[in-house]
Structures are given as structure tokens and as C-alpha cells.
Structure 1
Amino acid sequence: MSTTTSEPRTDSVPEPAVGTEQGPGLAEPGALARLFAPIRSYLIACGLLSALSSGAGIVPYVAAAEIARVTLSTPSVSAAAVWTWVGIGAAGAGLWLVLMVQSSRLGHYADAAILHHLRVRIVRHLGALPLGWFRASGSGRVKRAMTGDLEEMHEVIAHALGQLVGAVTVIAVSGVYLFSVDVPMALVVLGVLGLMTVSYRVSMRSMAAHVNRLIAAEGRISAASVEYADGIQVVKAFGTGGRVLHRFDEAVNEYAEAFAAWVNEVRHSSAVTRLLGSEMAVLTAVTAAGVAFIAQGSLTGAELVAFLVVSVGLPASIIPAVSGAQAVRKGRMGAANIERLLARMPLPEPERSRTPDGHEVEFDHVSFSYDGTTCAVEDVSAVCPTGTVTAIVGPSGAGKTTLTSLLPRFYDVTGGAIRIGGVDIREIGSARLLASMSLVFQDVSLLRDSVAENIRIGRPGAGDEDVREAAIAAHIHDVIEALPQGYDTPLDAGGGGLSGGERQRLTIARAILSGAPIVVLDEATAALDPDSETAVQEALARLAVGKTVIVIAHRLHTIAGADQILVLDNGRLVERGRHDELLTRDGLYARMWMAQEGVTA
């Protein structure tokens, strides 16, 4: 027997159990650096260019300050000295422009490169994850990773990096110049900026907790909105809109309360930060200190002008760094979310895929638990021979869908084994395993593409005639021909103008075209009207010819002719046999049959 292997991960972080989600905003230290590793050299170069650009951008202000010092302190100023500083200032401005453009270009190039790299990495990883993860909770995480989280990382590379490096450089260069002019005055300027930094840190001390609360509230608002939109027909028909909208109102109120709590906590420190970070605050402090130092004789008017020219512009350079720091925090949270997604263990693949000897399906003491404690399926054993129909029935929550989900490895069994043709499905490559099955579910999934392409999914590369024959076999050809553009009619995810039964027959045509030897039907006719059910049943009969068929059904009369019926209750197999045999035992199946017959009588 070959063993299964999975690629070891050195950067993984713990993942929650199946069906659970970790809370948002849990930034993993170093996640951002690890994900940015492929573009580290570009980021270093971009940071260096940003630093040089910001340093060059200070030169015109220094030149203007020196011109003021020269003209105010020297009675007969030399025109050559003035024009020298004018030239230096102009050169600094030109160099700033060139370096800024190059830094921006390099940053956006690195941004595009890493986002492409991460999207490809995420998509490839998603292809290796168990399909059950997507059905349980994965779709929301995928959407968040591919949109919001990557957007936060884009902000870090394209904007925040330059803002932070630029702010540090401006403070450093300006500080060196101001200290060279007058140390006490330079300390005054740095004192104002220091107070602004302290105030900002105080206002942001609980940002993570508040952001997490806001994100959770946003999630509840989205869920309530989707619930209302998806169930609008039921809501209007039964007058339950008030209850649904009440849940939406509660979610909105919770968001408002969370936001108000944050504002109330930081309103004073935030106001102080804005005040200290304004040009007016620096101007007032520099003017007041400068007048006092001039009165003491330790400062000249020319030196005060130099401080007014250079220091007043510092807040305008620092404020973008505040936004940059917030972007880095969000980027770290986005990177942590992406790392957790990439760290989820992929579906183990065999070192060498084995080929089944036939298509008989065997459940050998199969058990499965979603949470590791409660068994959804427990010790189920059954054989489904090739060319026969096996029906699985039972009360709601009996484990029927869970059992059939284990066959295509939406999840892996936690006990026992499932074999196809005598081979454990874990020893069959996932692509080969899925290619051996046609899966038809109650919930129809269609792509935003033409009718023909929706059928051709069953066998990519199939010719138009093959598609047409599959549609005829599924009793959907005449319906397609009546569409405005026939087989070229575009469909949306809801199936366009097709009815529920017609959409179901379209997916059956897809399954017929695939020609897979194993057919799994999960409540394929549960929500259909009698006429549509008859048409779908005829299509299913054509699909099942010579195949190993496993069907879940609530309407017991649809499986009365099955070769064997497995009756599940609370995850355990309690009865098996043919329809007539089970009726004579007067067990769970017989009670279910009598209940349905009584309802329909």
C-alpha cells in the first residue's frame, strides 16, 4: 500500500477545526515579511529611493531658509551666494521629482508582482483543499483573502512604505539642519512632534480590539443583508420581514455602538493629536520660543526665519505617515489571514495513484466527525455493486449527505475506509477520483457562460454533437432549442429563464456527457413539481444505465425499485434491504413509508 504525503510547511500557523473560523484581525508576527519575501530586494530599493526622494524634497526648504539667513544677516549680500542657494534648491526639487517617480514605479511594479504571486499561490492551494471546507466555511475566507486582505497588502507596498520612509527621512534631514542652526530651538520643534507621537500612540492603543469588534459587526450586517435578499420571496409571502429586518437593525446598532465606543474613548487624545500635528501648533511654538530666545540674545531673527521655513512644513510630512502606520497594521492582519488560509492542510495525495479494479463502491466501517468528538457517521459498512442502484434514506440529520460527501473526498473519513474497485480512495489521485464520478445535487450550480459550455463542463473538449446528444438524453434538448440563442444562450448563476427542473436536467446532461462510471445523486428531485420530477427521473434513468448509482432521496416512492436501500438514523446504519423486505420488517423505513403515504393519500 502506498502512503500519502503532504508538503511540509515551515511557516504554518494553527488552523481551527473543520467548520470553525478564527476571529478577524489576529496579526501573526512576521506574516507580512514572510509573504513579501519574493520582493524583498525591490522593497529595499523602493525604500532607499523614497528616502533619497524625501531627503531631496527638503533641500528647497533648506535653500529658502539659507537665502533668508544670508539676506537678513549680511548687510551687503552677494548675489552669487543667493543664486547658489537658488540653484541648490532647484536641483533638489528636480532630484525629488525624478526619485519620487522612480520610487513610485518600482513600488507599483513590486506590488503587481507580489499580488500576482500570492493570487496564483492561493488559487493553487485552494485546488488542493478538501471540497468540504468550501461548503462549510471556506467561501467567505476565500473572498476575504482574494479581495480585502490583498487590498490591504497593496496599500502597504504602493503607499504606506513610501509614506513611512519619507516621514522618517524628512524628520532626520530636517532635524540635522535645524540642530546645525540652533540646538534649543530644534529641541522645541522635536518636543512638539514628540508630544504628537505620544498622543497618537495613546489614541491608537486599543485600535485592534475596536477594529475586531467593527469587523465582526460588519459580518453580521452582511449576513443579515444576504439572508433578507436570498429569502425575499419567503419573507414577503409569510410576512416575516419584520423579524429579518430586526436582525439587520440589531447588527447595524451593534456596529454603531462599537464605533461610538471607539470614538468616545479616543476623542480627546485624537483631538490633541490633530492639534499638535497642525502647522498652527508648530508655528505657534516656534514663534513663541523664537521671540523669547531673541529677547535673551541667544537667537537671531534670521535663524528664526530658518526655523519658520523648515519646521512649519514638518506636520504635513508626518501626517501621511500616520495613515501609513494604520495601513501597515491592516496589512499585517491581512497577511495573517492569508497565511492561515495557506496553512490549512491540503488534501493528502498518494505518492503514486492506484487504478481501481472496477467501480464497485465499498463502505468499510466508515466513521466521520466534523468536530472530532461527535460522529456524524458511525461504523457504516455496505457494498454498492457495479450496475446497481443503492438508495440511502433516513430522517433529517441522519448522516445521508455526510456519507455521500465522503465518497468524492469532500472530507476524509476519520475511521474505517471507502474503496472503489478494491482500492482505498485515499490511494487514488483526487483528479482521477473525481473524474470517475458524476455528482448531481439538489442545489444546481451553473456558470456564467453559454448553455453548451455549462454542459461541456462534464467533459471539456467534447464536440457540439456530443453536447447535443447528452442534452437529448437528459430530456432538455427541446427546451434549449426554444431559448433565444439555443445552445449559445448565456446563463447566469441562477440559470436565467430556466425553471428548477430544467436547470436540474441541464446538470444531468453534464453528468451524462462525463460518462463517469459512478453516479451520486443527492436529493436530485426533492424540490421539483410532479411534471418536472417525471422528466428528471427519466433523465436519471438514462444516466444510471450500467453505472454504480448511489442516490439520496426523501421521496421514498422514487427509490422503491432500488437494488438495495440503506436506512440511516443518527449516523448509524439501522436497516438494509429491498423495498418490500423493509416494509415487512415494520422498522424505521416502514414507518417513514407509511408517514409519506398517509400524507399523500
Structure 2
Amino acid sequence: MTQSSTPSPPGLAGPGALARLLAPIRTHLVVCAILSTLSAAAGIVPYIAVAEIARVMLSGPVTDPAAIWTWVVVGAVGASVWLLLFVQSSRVGHFADAKILHELRSRIVRHLGALPLGWFRTSGSGRVKRAMTGDLEEMHEVIAHALGQLTGAVTVMTVGAGYLLFVDVRMALIALGVLGVMGVMAIFFRISMRSMTAHMNRLVAADARISAASVEYADGIQVVKTFGTGGRVLRRFDDAVDEHTQAFAAWVAEVRYSSAVSRLFGSEMAVLAVVTAAGLAFLYNGSLAVADLVAFLVVAIGLPNSIMPAVTASQGVRKGRMGAANIEKLLARAPLPEPERPQEPNGHGVEFDRVSFSYDGVRNAVEDISAVCPPGTVTAIVGPSGAGKTTLASLLPRFYDVADGSIRIGGVDLRSIPSAELLASMSLVFQDVALLRDSVAENIRIGRPDASDAEVRQAAVAAHVHDVIEDLPDGYDTLLDAGGGSLSGGERQRLTIARAILSGAPIVVLDEATAALDPDSEAAVQNALATLAVGKTVIVIAHRLHTIAGADQILVLDGGRLVERGGHDELLARDGLYARMWAAQEGVLA
């Protein structure tokens, strides 16, 4: 049997994560870098050609026009080669980008499908959204843009510096000295950004809180508007926005001076001023020709334009490393353990054997619970809020694995049953209805993808929702959104019950399936549930006790422990917690 624990993955960071994730496209990246290098080298040729034409024309009477036309041709060829190689480099880079991001998205989706379902409940959608959008976008910038910018900047600086040294060593050293100062400022800027990772992590956490609070507010908008609790409900959103603002302000305060200075010295104005001043001085004493000064004004002034993009690209690489590290953390999260030696259950009776579970590893949400749910019977789980009802039911489909004890189906531990077979043996109906953006028929057919249209209709009839579907504009072909379109809460619930009926799973788990419904809808859903439960092993989490009065057995939880068990009449006669809960609800109903 496999281990049941699911430890959190270790922290992964650094450039290694980016290199590992990009390994499948390493050849493409090398080709892209080579093309970017050649493209950048060709791109500076037209500027050199212009400078050389100026030198020829300003050096005296032009005795050989062919020299000028030669440089014209060289410049035109350089521009053409630059365009061709730039397009090819961009194509290779974007192809590699599309290829690896497709592979990573597919890999993430497959991995998400193997993670315990409980992880999604506790972590929310923020982590997945960040990985699938923001983190992959940071990697896109590295692959499709930053790589070319960095290689291009190095090439332009190397070729340009070589040409300037050829024209005049003194002026070249002066220009390169200014560029060196700019490089130092760029390094200073990088050093000032050394805390970027901490700031970005803080911003990402704040952004995740904003997303979670926004979804929470949107989901509860009806309650907020009805009871006028917008200010209190929005407090978490306001706090998340404040945290994001403070994090961004702290980052800006740390880098504002270094950023301003680096941009001042990173512009071509600094080179223009120094080169012009030095060139005029050399012209004045006769040690520099006007033609040579023009060459510097044409070529040297353009070199700073490659520095700031390189700085920006280096920041993009850093962000890409962070994004890759976040993706690796997600991919390193332990999947749901699969059995090394799968076993086949003998029947579909459910047994809880001294089951304990803790969300935080400190306090047990359920503790030492034992119960047997024979096939063909209905077992109800009741108790006050926080008693552990939903937790116990969540352990059955392995949303989480038990910490101690075991849960058996047909005499076989859940952890010895392949997860796909385990979930296929269960129909899960929750209070929160999950529908897809698809037709009504396809929403029902999720229960059994190969089901025919006739079988889908039979399931809808059994769930007492067929007439409702027939009244929709396009009947079973009516497209629904995630909210169920015009369907009421009870109708959406019966749609999910039709899905469960169609699946034919022998075990049914109902989690507060009628808690939020009005009496008429509740009655319709109860009729549908009665059809669903025929001949099945049924486990019901109930809040309204009158809905489970006819259950074969009732398990009463309190504080995570099983405090009572028995039939409805038996529990009333004991005058314990169940009897008090019944009296309280009957008093309210009366």
C-alpha cells in the first residue's frame, strides 16, 4: 500500500528551474541566439556604411565614386540581411515559445488532475491562475524577447566598439568610457533590484488575495446587496488592495533614485555630449578629422540604445526565473498516491475504521471514527457546524487521505484502489452545483460520456427535471453557463442528480444537497434523490434533520468525534445531542 501523506514540496528557486523547464527547446534557443547575434551584427552595418560614406565625402574631393556606391550596397545588404535574420530569429523564438508553453500548460493540467481534490479547496484558484497566466507570461518574455535583446545588445556593443577603435582609438576609448559608466549604472541598478524577488513575492501574494476576495465578493453579491453588508464584506478586498499598494510603494521607494540615475546616464544624450565635446577639442588642435567625428556621431551615439533594453531584458530573465520556480513548485507538489498493487473491492459496502484526519497536522478535524455502511442502506451524518461532517465525507472520494485508520470499500482500503476506479464507483452531489459551459445534454452526459441521447433523457426523467429541460428555448441543446443560465437552484441541483443517475455508480455521497433550497424545490430534489438512491450505498450529510428521519442509521458528530449512532426514533429516545437538534429545528419549523 502507498503512503497516505501528501507533504508539501520543498521550495525551488534560482536559474536552475528556468533551465530545466526550457530544456526541451534548448536547440531552438541556441538557434534563436545565433540568428539574433547575426541579425544584430547585420543591423549595425548600415550605420557603419553611412559613417564610411561621410568619411569618404568629407575627406576631400571624391575621386572614386565607386567607393561610395560600394558602401551604399554594403549598407543595403546589411539592412536586408538584418531584416531577414530578425524575422527568422523572431519566428524561431516564438515557435519555441508556443511549443514549450503548450507543453507546460498540458503538463500542468495533467498534474492538476493527479493532485488531491482537497488541495484545490484549501488553496483556491489563485495558485493555478498565477501559474497558467502570470508565470507562463514571464517565461514567454524570456523566450520570445529577452533572449534576442541580450544577445543583440552584446553583439551591437562588440561590433560597434571594434569599428570605433578602427576609426580612432582615443575617441573610441572616450566613448567606451562613457558606455562603461553607463554599464556601471546598469549594474548599480541591478544591485538596487536585488530585493526584487522578495518584493515580487509580496506583490504576487497580495494579488492572489485580491483575486480571492474579488471572487468571494462576486459569489456573494446577492447576500451583500440584500443585507447591506458591503462594507464588511469588502474589508478583505480593501485590506488586500492596501497590502498590494504598500508592497509596490516599498519597491518604488527602494529603486526610484537608482532607476532615475541609470536612465539619465543610460541615454544617448550623455554619449552625445561627451563625444561632441571631445571631438571638438581634438578638431581644435588638429588631431581629429571632421569625417572621423561624423563617424562617431553616427555610430557611437546609437550604442546606448542597446544598453537599456539589455537591462530590461535582464530583469525579464529574473522574472522568468521566478515564474519558472513557481511552476516547478506546483509541478513538484505530491500527486495523489496511486497503489503499487491495486485491489478489486468485493462489493460496495463502506467501512470507517478508527479514522482520524487533520488539516494542519495539529488539531484533528475528525478523530477515531468507526462506522459501517452496508450496501443498499442510507447512512446520514449530522451534527452542529464544525463537527466534521463534510470532512468525513471528503475522505471517502480521497479529497484527502486519512492520517490514521482506514476507510474500506468492499473490504479494500481506499488507497489500494486506483483513483479513477474509486471516483467512478461514486456519485457525488454537493450543495454547490458545478455546471459546464455546454449544452444541457452534455452537462448530464458527464456522468457517462458514452451515453446515448435516449439514456440522457431517461436520467433526466428519473431526476424529475425532464419537463424543465423541455421548456428551455432549445431543450436539451440549450447552452448553459457556469451559473446554470435561467435554471433555478433546485433545477440545477436536479440536473446534477440526473448526471449521477446516468453514471450508475453504486455509492452515492450527498453533501447538504437540499440545504439552500425552498420547500417546493427541496421536495422535487428529494424525489430525485429517492430515485438516485435505490439499491445504492448512500451517505448523506444533512442539515435539515427531517430529510433523513428515514435513514437506516444516523451518525451524530460533535467536535470531530462520533458521539451517537442509531435510527431516528432510537436517537430521540436517548434524549442526547440529536434529540436537542431535532427539538430546536422542530421548534423553528413550528
TM-score by length of 2: 0.95
Give the aligned partner of residue 51 of structure 1: 37
Judged with a 3 Å threshold, the aligned counterparts in structure 2 of structure 1 residues 376 and 244 are, in CA distance, closer, same or farther, namely closer
| C-alpha separation in 1, matches of 2:148 and 2:463 | 60
Is 1:200 matched with 2:186? yes
- Check whether the contact 2:464–2:494 (CA below 8 A) recurs between aligned residues: yes
Tell me how far 1:83 sits from its aligned partner: 2.2
Alignment partner for residue 160 of structure 2, among 174, 178, 185?
Answer: 174
Distance between the aligned counterparts of 1:407 and 1:326, measured in 2?
47
**Is residue 116 of structure 2 the alignment partner of residue 122 of structure 1?**
no
Q: Which residue of 2 aligns with 1:162?
A: 148
In the TM superposition, residue 135 of structure 1 has moved relative to its aligned partner by: 1.7
Change (3 A) 1:495 1:14: closer
Q: Which residue of 1 aligns with 2:16?
A: 30
Counterpart Cα distance in 1 of 2:116 and 2:187: 43
Deviation track 1:335-393 (CA, whole Å, cap 9, x = no partner) reads 11111110011111123432111001111111111122221111111110001111111
Query: Paired residue for 1:263, among 245, 252, 270?
Result: 252
Q: Partner residue of 2:9?
A: 15
CA displacement at 1:246 relative to structure 2: 4.9
Deviations 1:491-524 (A, max 9, x none): 1111111111111111111111111100000001
Equivalent of 1:355, from 323, 326, 344? Answer: 344
- Residue 270 of structure 1: CA displacement? 1.9
- Of 541, 546, 550 in structure 1, the residue corresponding to residue 530 of structure 2 is 541
Structure 1 CA distance for aligned equivalents of residues 509 and 114 of structure 2 = 22
Q: Secondary structure at the match of 1:574?
A: strand
Instruction: Pick which of 119-128 and 192-201 moved more.
Output: 192-201
Q: Where does structure 1 lack aligned partners over 5 or more consecutive residues? A: 7-12, 17-21
The worse-fitting range, judged by mean Cα deviation, of 65-74 and 353-362 is: 65-74
Q: Per the alignment, in what secondary structure is the counterpart of residue 516 of structure 1?
A: coil
Structure 1 residue 67, shift from structure 2 partner: 2.3
Aligned length: 585
Cα distance in 1, alignment partners of residues 81 and 29 from structure 2: 20
Looking at structure 1, the residues matched to 397 and 427 of structure 2 have their Cα atoms a distance apart, in angstroms, of 10
Give the CA deviation at 1:74.
4.7
Q: CA deviation at 1:224?
A: 3.5
| Pairs within 5 Å for 1:492-571 | 492-571=481-560
Instruction: Call closer, same or farther: CA 1:331–1:530 in 2, change over 3 Å.
Output: same
Q: CA deviation at 1:14?
A: 5.9
CA drift of 1:249 comes to: 4.2
Instruction: Indicate conservation of the 8 Å contact 1:356/1:420, yes or no.
Output: yes
Corresponding residue number in structure 2 for 1:82: 68
Checking the alignment, whether the CA contact within 8 Å between 2:494 and 2:525 is kept in structure 1 is yes
Q: Does 1:150 align with 2:144?
A: no
Name the SS for the 2:27 alignment partner. helix
How far does residue 255 in structure 1 lie from its aligned partner after superposition?
Answer: 3.4
Identity %: 78
Equivalent positions of 1:410-429 (< 5 A) are 410-429=399-418
- 1:279 corresponds to: 268
Which residue identity lines up with residue 303 of structure 1 in the other structure? D
Corresponding position: 1:380 with 2:378: no
1:253 Cα deviation after fit: 4.1
SS at the partner of 2:15? coil
The alpha carbon displacement at 1:27 in A equals 4.1
Question: Aligned partners of 1:252, 1:427: CA distance in 2, in Å?
Answer: 46
Counterparts of 1:14 and 1:292, CA distance in 2: 67
**Quick one: which amino acid aligns to residue 78 of structure 2?**
G
| Structure 2 Cα separation of the partners of residues 592 and 188 of structure 1 | 88
Q: 1:131: Cα distance to partner?
A: 1.0
Note if contact 1:470-1:509 (Cα within 8 Å) is conserved in structure 2: yes
SS of the residue corresponding to residue 30 of structure 1 reads helix
Partner of 2:321: 332
Q: Deviations over 1:271-302 (max 9, x none)?
A: 22222222222111111122233345543332
Match of 1:10 in 2: none
* 3-state SS, counterpart of residue 328 of structure 2: helix
> Is 1:62 aligned to 2:48, yes or no?
yes
The one-letter amino acid of 2:31's match is: A
What are the Cα deviations for residues 455-488 of structure 1, in whole angstroms up to 9, with x where unaligned? 1111111111111111111111111111111111
**Does residue 1:470 correspond to 2:470, yes or no?**
no
Counterpart of 1:422, as a letter, is G
Rounded Cα–Cα distance in structure 2 between residues aligned with 1:593 and 1:100: 76
- 1:141 and 2:135 correspond: no
Q: Which one-letter code corresponds to 2:177 in the other structure?
A: G
1:309 to 298, 304, 313: 298
Partner SS, residue 360 of structure 2 = coil
Whether the 8 Å contact between 2:126 and 2:208 is mirrored in structure 1 is no
After superposition, the C-alpha distances for 1:166-209 in whole angstroms (9 at most, x for unaligned) are 01110111112112223332232222223233333434343333
Hey, what does 2:380 align to over in structure 1? Answer: 391
Q: CA RMSD in A?
A: 2.0
Measured against aligned partners, the alpha-carbon deviations of 1:58-115 in whole angstroms (never above 9, x if no partner) come to: 1111122222223333555422222222222222111111111111111111111111
Cα deviation per residue 1:19-49 (whole Å; 9 max; x = unaligned)?
xxx8xxx843311110000000110010000
Question: How far apart, in 2, do the equivalents of 1:309 and 1:522 lie?
Answer: 75
Question: Which sits farther off after the overlay, 310-319 or 384-393?
Answer: 310-319
Distance in 1 between the 2:110 and 2:254 partners?
44
Kindly indicate whether the alpha-carbon contact (under 8 Å) linking 2:124 and 2:212 is maintained by their aligned counterparts in 1: no
In the alignment, structure 2 segments of 5+ residues that lack a partner are none
Deviates further, 256-265 or 458-467: 256-265
Distance 2:328 2:161 in 1: 40
Q: Secondary structure at the match of 2:357?
A: strand
**SS of residue matched to 1:149:** helix
For the 8 Å contact 2:436–2:482, the answer to whether it is kept is yes
Matches within 5 A, 1:185-224: 185-203=171-189, 204-224=193-213
Query: Structure 1 residues 544-553 or 363-372, which shifts more?
Result: 363-372
- In the aligned structure 1, how far is the partner of 2:124 from the partner of 2:14? 20
Distance 1:395 1:355, change over 3 A: same
- Quote the Cα distance in structure 2 between the aligned partners of 1:81 and 1:347: 73
- Segment of structure 1 superposing worse, 255-264 or 420-429: 255-264
Q: Secondary structure at the match of 1:391?
A: strand
Please state how far the C-alpha of 1:218 moved relative to its aligned partner.
3.0
SS of 1:438's partner is strand
Alpha carbons of 1:505 and 1:140: their partners in 2 closer, same or farther (altered >3 Å)?
Answer: same
Please say if residues 126 and 212 of structure 2, whose CA atoms lie closer than 8 Å, have aligned partners that are also in contact.
no
* Cα distance change, pair 216–139 in 1 and its aligned pair in 2 (3 A): closer
Match of 2:436 among 438, 447, 459: 447
More moved, 208-217 vs 554-563: 208-217
Partner of 1:237: 226
Inter-partner Cα distance in structure 1 for 2:211 and 2:113: 27
Q: Which residue of 2 aligns with 1:4?
A: 2
Matched residue SS, 1:527:
coil
Instruction: Classify 1:14/1:199 alpha carbon distance in 2 versus 1 (closer, same or farther; 3 Å).
Output: farther
Counterpart of 2:446 in structure 1 is 457
208-217 vs 514-523, which deviates more? 208-217
Displacement of 1:405 in angstroms is 0.7
Does the alignment pair 1:107 with 2:93?
yes
Cα distance between partner residues in 2 of 1:517 and 1:253: 50
Contact persistence 2:183–2:307 (CA under 8 A): no
